[in-house]
């Protein structure tokens, strides 16, 4: 009888360990892009160690009707970066490889997702 209770307790503990979510994974490195500020000047922004698996809408380019999209992304993280033409990781997408991925000002983006 004690063996059965011990096995049940061990099985329950194993289930709890497997169901508790782990810590969030982050892409290590920097992802930079260029945007136009409210005075019409080009500015550079950088995401340091961005979260993986979460859509990141670029605050400086989020509003489709009032802000121009960002451009010239550079992926210097250890993960693939999928950039999107619209906020909330929607619209057309383009994948930038880890460490050396980049694009010219012709590539417009409003959000990014790291693998």
**Could you give the 3-state DSSP secondary structure of residue 45?**
strand
Q: How far apart are CA 32 and CA 88, in angstroms?
A: 18
DSSP 8-state code for residue 89 = G
Confidence of residue 13 (pLDDT cuts 50, 70, 90): very low
17 belongs to a structural domain:
no
Residue 54: both structure tokens together: 């979460």
Domain assignment present for 20:
no
Q: How would residue 65 be classed by pLDDT, with cut points 50, 70 and 90? A: confident
CATH code of residue 61: 2.60.20.10
* Cα–Cα distance measured from residue 106 to residue 115, given in angstroms and rounded to the nearest whole number: 23
86 inside domain: yes
For residue 96, is it within any domain? yes
Domain for residue 13, yes or no? no
Host domain of residue 54? 29-114
Residue 8 forms part of a structural domain: no
On the question of pLDDT at 4 being above 70, the answer is no
Q: Is residue 95 in some structural domain? A: yes
Cα 113 from Cα 115, distance rounded (Å): 7
Provide the domain count of the chain: 1
In a domain, 109, yes or no: yes
CA-based torsion, 62, 64, 65, 68: positive or negative: positive
- pLDDT score of 15 more than 80: no
Query: pTM of whole model > 0.85?
Result: no
């Amino acid at each position: 009888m004690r063996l059965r209770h011990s096995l049940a307790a061990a099985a329950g503990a194993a289930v709890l360990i497997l169901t508790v979510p782990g810590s969030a994974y982050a892409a290590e490195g920097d992802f930079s892009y260029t945007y136009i500020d409210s005075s019409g000047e080009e500015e550079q922004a950088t995401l340091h160690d961005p979260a993986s698996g979460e859509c990141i809408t670029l605050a400086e380019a989020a509003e489709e009707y009032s802000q121009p999209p960002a451009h010239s992304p550079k992926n210097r993280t250890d993960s693939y970066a999928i950039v999107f033409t619209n906020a909330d990781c929607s619209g057309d997408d383009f994948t930038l490889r880890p460490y050396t991925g980049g694009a010219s000002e012709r590539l417009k983006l409003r959000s990014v997702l790291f693998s």
